[in-house]
A and B are shown apart, each in its own frame.
Chain A
Amino acid sequence: MNPLSRRDVLIGASACLIAGRTRAAQVFKTDEVAPGIHFRRGVDEDATSSNNDAIANIGFIVGREAVAVIDPGGSLLDGQNLRATIRQTTKLPIRYVVLSHVHPDHIFGAGAFLEDKPQFVGHALLPNALAQRGEFYRGNLEKILGQGKAGPVIQPTLLVKDQTQIDLGGRILKVTAHGIAHTDCDLSVLDSQTSTLMLSDLLFVERVPSLDGSLKGWLAVLAKLKTVGARRAVPGHGPTGVDWPYVSRDLERYLGALLTETRQAIAKGVDIAQAAKTVALSERDKWKLFDDYNGHNVTRAYKELEWD
Chain B
Amino acid sequence: MGLNNPRVWVGVLLLAALQPAFADDEDAQERGARWKQLQESIFPKREVLDSGGIITVDAPPRALDAALVPVELHMSSPVKGIYLIIDDNPAPMAAHFVFGPKADPHDLKLRVRVNAYTNIHAVAETQDGKLHAATKFVKAAGGCSAPAGSDDAAAMADMGRMKLRLLGDFNAGKPMQAQLMIRHPNFNGMQMNQITRMYTPARFIRTIDATYNGGQVFHLDADISLATDPVITFGFVPHEKGQMTVVAQDSSDAKFDHSFDVPGTPAG
Cβ distance B97 to chain A, nearest Cβ, rounded Å: 18
A269 within 8 A of partner (CB)? yes
CA distance A299 to B62 in the complex (A): 14
Which chain A residues border B195 with CB–CB below 8 Å?
127, 131, 155
The one of B65, B148, B154 that contacts A296, using a Cβ cutoff of 8 Å: B65
State whether A131 and B193 are in contact (beta carbons under 8 Å apart), knowing that A136-B147, A180-B150 are contacts in the complex. yes
Cβ distance B62 to chain A, nearest Cβ, rounded Å: 9
**Of all chain B residues, which has the CB nearest A184?**
B150
CA distance A306 to B164 in the complex (A): 11
Which chain B residues border A298 with CB–CB below 8 Å?
64
**Of all chain B residues, which has the CB nearest A272?**
B70
Q: Are A272's CB and B193's CB within 8 A?
A: no
Q: Are B150's CB and A307's CB within 8 A?
A: no
**Interface hub of B65, B72, B109 (most chain A Cβ within 10 A):** B65
Interface size on A, residues (CB 8 A): 32
A276 within 8 A of partner (CB)? yes
In residues 149-164 of chain B, which contact A (Cβ within 8 Å)?
Answer: 149-151, 154, 161, 163
CA distance A263 to B148 in the complex (A): 25
A26 within 8 A of partner (CB)? no
State whether A132 and B147 are in contact (beta carbons under 8 Å apart), knowing that A272-B70, A273-B70, A296-B65 are contacts in the complex. yes
CA distance A127 to B154 in the complex (A): 19
Cβ distance B232 to chain A, nearest Cβ, rounded Å: 12
A295 within 8 A of partner (CB)? yes
The interface bits of chain B over 122-154 (1 if a CB of A lies within 8 angstroms of the residue's CB, else 0) are 000000000000000000001001111111001
Which chain B residues border A303 with CB–CB below 8 Å?
68, 151, 229
The one of A180, A213, A273 that contacts B60, using a Cβ cutoff of 8 Å: A273
Which chain B residues border A183 with CB–CB below 8 Å?
150
The interface bits of chain B over 224-235 (1 if a CB of A lies within 8 angstroms of the residue's CB, else 0) are 000001010100
Which chain A residues border B109 with CB–CB below 8 Å?
271
Which chain B residues border A213 with CB–CB below 8 Å?
150
In residues 169-219 of chain A, which contact B (Cβ within 8 Å)?
Answer: 180, 183-184, 212-214
Q: Are B194's CB and A299's CB within 8 A?
A: no
B111 within 8 A of partner (CB)? yes
**Of all chain A residues, which has the CB nearest B69?**
A273
Q: Are A307's CB and B181's CB within 8 A?
A: yes
State whether A131 and B111 are in contact (beta carbons under 8 Å apart), knowing that A136-B145, A214-B150, A299-B68 are contacts in the complex. no
A95 within 8 A of partner (CB)? no
Cβ distance B118 to chain A, nearest Cβ, rounded Å: 18
B167 within 8 A of partner (CB)? yes
Q: Are B194's CB and A134's CB within 8 A?
A: yes
The interface bits of chain B over 175-199 (1 if a CB of A lies within 8 angstroms of the residue's CB, else 0) are 0000101010000000111111000
B7 within 8 A of partner (CB)? no
Cβ distance A271 to chain B, nearest Cβ, rounded Å: 6
B165 within 8 A of partner (CB)? yes
Q: Are A306's CB and B150's CB within 8 A?
A: no
Which chain A residues border B65 with CB–CB below 8 Å?
296, 299-300
Which chain B residues border A180 with CB–CB below 8 Å?
150
CA distance A303 to B64 in the complex (A): 13
Q: Are A153's CB and B64's CB within 8 A?
A: no
A133 within 8 A of partner (CB)? yes
CA distance A65 to B38 in the complex (A): 65
Q: Are B194's CB and A272's CB within 8 A?
A: no
CA distance A133 to B200 in the complex (A): 13
The one of B68, B161, B165 that contacts A269, using a Cβ cutoff of 8 Å: B165
Which chain A residues border B229 with CB–CB below 8 Å?
303, 307
Q: Are A132's CB and B142's CB within 8 A?
A: no
Which chain B residues border A127 with CB–CB below 8 Å?
195
Which chain A residues border B167 with CB–CB below 8 Å?
269
Which chain B residues border A295 with CB–CB below 8 Å?
64
State whether A135 and B233 are in contact (beta carbons under 8 Å apart), knowing that A184-B150, A273-B60 are contacts in the complex. no
The one of A129, A140, A271, A299 that contacts B64, using a Cβ cutoff of 8 Å: A299
Cβ distance A162 to chain B, nearest Cβ, rounded Å: 19
Q: Are B64's CB and A276's CB within 8 A?
A: yes
Cβ distance A111 to chain B, nearest Cβ, rounded Å: 16
CA distance A296 to B65 in the complex (A): 6
Q: Are B64's CB and A131's CB within 8 A?
A: no
The interface bits of chain A over 264-306 (1 if a CB of B lies within 8 angstroms of the residue's CB, else 0) are 0000010111001000000000000000000110111001101
In residues 69-91 of chain B, which contact A (Cβ within 8 Å)?
Answer: 70, 72
CA distance A213 to B64 in the complex (A): 16
Between A and B, 23 residue pairs with Cβ closer than 8 Å are A127-B195, A129-B147, A130-B194, A131-B195, A132-B148, A132-B191, A135-B192, A135-B194, A180-B150, A183-B150, A212-B149, A213-B150, A214-B150, A269-B165, A271-B233, A272-B111, A272-B231, A299-B64, A299-B65, A300-B65, A303-B68, A307-B154, A307-B181
3 closest cross-chain pairs (CB), A and B: A132-B147, A133-B147, A273-B70
Interface residues of A (CB under 8 A from B): 127, 129-136, 140, 153, 155, 180, 183-184, 212-214, 269, 271-273, 276, 295-296, 298-300, 303-304, 306-307
Instruction: Given contacts A133-B147, A307-B229, list 15 more A-B pairs with CB under 8 A.
Output: A127-B195, A131-B196, A132-B148, A132-B193, A140-B142, A155-B195, A183-B150, A269-B165, A269-B167, A269-B168, A271-B109, A272-B68, A296-B65, A303-B68, A306-B181
